[in-house]
Amino acid sequence: MPQIFHPSTNTISRVSIAGTVALVGLVAAVAGGLFESTYLTGVRVPREQPVPFSHAHHVGGLGIDCRYCHTTVETSSFAGMPATEVCMNCHKQIWSEAPMLEPVRAS
């Protein structure tokens, strides 16, 4: 029986298959890296806060314990956001009319 394909066709086929497998692997790796990147997840991206807040001032300077505001810090992977009432416990008396605390009072 006569040979239909040129002998180099086998080599070309093998290289094509290996190249396709490598390309699929590369696309999967890039897609996996993209889906875990800060571009899509937003992790470690600072968010603009409506009220200026300093942990250094409240915890370091005033000595407020973390657990006062973040009640779930010891039982959850997320420390949680304090309720407005927690902030207003102090700020009803201190800086009660400060314009920068208006978003806190309004919430």
**What share of the chain has pLDDT > 90, as a percent?**
24
Q: How many CB atoms lie within 10 A of CB 105?
A: 14
pLDDT band at 43 (very low <50, low <70, confident <90, very high): confident
pLDDT in tens, 5-36: 888 888 999 999 999 999 999 999 999 988 88
State the average pLDDT over residues 93-103. Answer: 86
Structure tokens at 101: 């605390």
Residue 47 has pLDDT above 80, yes or no: no
Per-residue pLDDT tens for 59-78? 899 999 988 988 888 888 88
**Could you give phi then psi for residue 75, rounded to 5 degrees?**
-120, -5
How far is Cα 87 from Cα 101, in angstroms, rounded to an integer?
Answer: 10
DSSP string, 24-48: HHHHHHHHHHHHTSHHHH-TT-PPP
Helix (H, G, I), strand (E, B) or coil at 45: coil
- Split at pLDDT 50, 70, 90, the class of 94 is confident
